[in-house]
Amino acid sequence: MNNGACRYFYRRGTTVKKLIYAVFAIVIYALLSVRPALADASTDLTAQGAKIFSANCAACHQGGNNVVSANKNLKAAALKQYGMDSTDAIITQVTNGKGAMPAFKGRLKDEEIKAVAAYVLDQSAKDWKK
Ligand code: HEC
């Protein structure tokens, strides 16, 4: 091999390396930017849920309590005791109502019920302190 060919391969080598670095940089950037996006999505949901809660639920459930049936409150222990410690269970109860609790089907959209359920679970995990 003469010098020219060596230089050619050397340069090609660095170009390939640069390409690999560029691809890595893009992958790392993509990974880093996806995470906050996911976190934002769930905070948005609970933030939306908070508004729905104060407009539709707080009259009876202010601070995670229950002014009608005190034991059926929205604190973690009660939710667990009554099998209400999942998004699905809360969605079902809010949609169809139960006992003295009105049904919200037709009053709230499915996504709004989902958001308020996420908010209730989030708050119960924080013991309604935030
Ligand atoms: C008119 C008062 C009233 C309103 C408004 C109300 N609830 Fe209720 N809620 C109740 C009563 C009463 C119960 C107990 C129902 C039962 O099991 O007999 C209850 C129970 C619950 C439970 C189950 C708690 C447990 O420990 O078993 C959840 C979750 C809940 N409500 C969420 C909501 C959400 C979310 C909203 C707003 C979309 C809402 N409620 C609006 C009165 C109300």
pLDDT digit string, tens, across residues 33-44:
776 666 777 788
- DSSP designation for 62: G
Q: Is the pLDDT of residue 2 over 60?
A: no
Ligand 1 pocket: which of 52, 60, 62 to mutate (most atoms within 8 A of CB): 60
Residues 82 and 105: their CA atoms lie apart, in Å, by 21
- pLDDT given for residue 32 in this prediction: 78
- Ligand 1 and 104: CB distance under 6 A: yes
Collapsing DSSP to helix, strand or coil, 129 comes out as coil
Amino acid at 115: A
Residue ID of nearest Cα to ligand 1 atom 5: 57
Collapsing DSSP to helix, strand or coil, 101 comes out as strand
How do residues 51-110 score in pLDDT, each as one tens digit? 999 999 999 999 999 999 999 999 999 999 999 999 999 999 999 999 999 999 999 999
User: What angle separates helix 3-56 from helix 110-125, to the nearest 10 degrees?
Assistant: 90
- pLDDT given for residue 20 in this prediction: 87
What pTM, to 2 d.p., does this model score? Answer: 0.78
User: Cβ distance 124 to 76 under 8 Å?
Assistant: yes
- Ligand 1 and 118: CB distance under 6 A: no
